[in-house]
């Protein structure tokens, strides 16, 4: 895999459920060099053997202390040089939301950011997680690392990033403080890769199942690939794979190229 990386990130909304809806076929297709998933909802010991023995992939999973909740996973053709399964903050790491892998060309962080809809306490938790993550990323960037950050960020950044912005101004996921943090994050030296290539509306990655919103494309763009500015020249494409079914989210993609 030298020089070229085709990566996707997908909130699968339960790994075992998504396996019954085509996720295994996506892995067996071998099209992607790195597959990052969020909301696995399973501890590694509860995962079916077939998903942990995909030919050609190394796999890594992080689960929450609470059963059937949160969790992230990563499949990689290239064995990482280093793996970290938390930010070093117990209050956040206990929810199994973070995995970092270091390659020769870049460092990748796969994150399932908290949802703030349930209560004021969860919104406060989400905002604290955002700040802790930004501190963590900035420390790595200060060391000169090239960063790729992907996952379900649980916030639509701008009005263009959701179908009904006016109706959702008081909903977590589009609150002023959440959007302001996204501004702060990008201003700190990170790029929203999809917007490097596409400035059009109606590009979403999550749709409510309850209202059959996907059929009408009434969605939100909650899933992102960001890169630190020192990787800008290596980004060849970024995409939303809206045709891929199997979850209330669809995957998002990133293609990186490194000269020989």
Query: Quick one: pLDDT at residue 218?
Result: 97
Residue spans of the chain under pLDDT 50: 1
What is the domain partition of the chain in residue ranges?
Answer: 4-257
Q: Which two tokens stand for residue 221?
A: 């763009």
Q: Does the pTM of the predicted model rise above 0.75?
A: yes
Closest CA to 235 of 251, 218, 258: 258
Query: Quick one: pLDDT at residue 2?
Result: 56
Domain 4-257, CATH class in plain words: alpha beta
Q: Biggest alpha carbon distance in the chain?
A: 50
Cβ–Cβ < 8 Å for 223, 11: yes
Cβ–Cβ < 8 Å for 113, 150: no
Query: Quick one: pLDDT at residue 1?
Result: 46
Closest CA to 113 of 134, 132, 100, 130: 130
Pairing label, strands 34-38, 4-11: parallel
Residues designated catalytic: 152
pLDDT (tens digit per residue) in 100-130: 999 999 999 999 999 999 999 999 999 999 9
């Amino acid at each position: 895999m030298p020089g070229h990386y085709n990566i996707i990130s997908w909130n699968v909304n339960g790994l075992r459920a998504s396996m019954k809806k085509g996720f295994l076929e996506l892995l067996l297709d071998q099209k992607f060099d790195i597959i990052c998933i969020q909301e696995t909802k399973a501890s590694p010991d509860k995962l079916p053997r077939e998903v942990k023995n995909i030919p050609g992939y190394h796999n890594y999973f992080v689960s929450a202390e609470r059963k059937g909740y949160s969790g992230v996973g990563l499949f990689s053709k290239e064995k990482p040089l280093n793996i970290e399964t938390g930010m070093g903050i117990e209050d956040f790491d206990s929810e199994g939301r973070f995995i970092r892998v270091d390659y020769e060309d870049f460092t990748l962080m796969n994150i399932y950011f908290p949802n703030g809809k349930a209560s004021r306490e969860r919104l406060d938790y989400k905002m604290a997680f955002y700040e802790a993550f930004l501190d963590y990323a900035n420390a790595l960037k200060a060391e000169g690392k090239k960063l790729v950050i992907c996952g379900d960020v649980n916030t639509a950044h701008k009005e263009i990033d959701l179908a009904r912005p006016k109706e959702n101004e008081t909903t977590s996921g589009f609150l002023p403080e959440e959007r302001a943090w996204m501004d702060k994050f990008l201003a700190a030296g990170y790029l929203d890769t999809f917007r490097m290539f596409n400035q059009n509306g109606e590009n979403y990655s999550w749709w409510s199942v309850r209202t059959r919103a996907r059929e009408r494309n009434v969605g939100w763009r909650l899933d992102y690939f960001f890169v630190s500015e020192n990787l800008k020249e290596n980004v060849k494409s970024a995409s939303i794979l809206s045709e891929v079914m199997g979850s209330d989210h669809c995957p998002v993609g990133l293609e990186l190229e490194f000269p020989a």
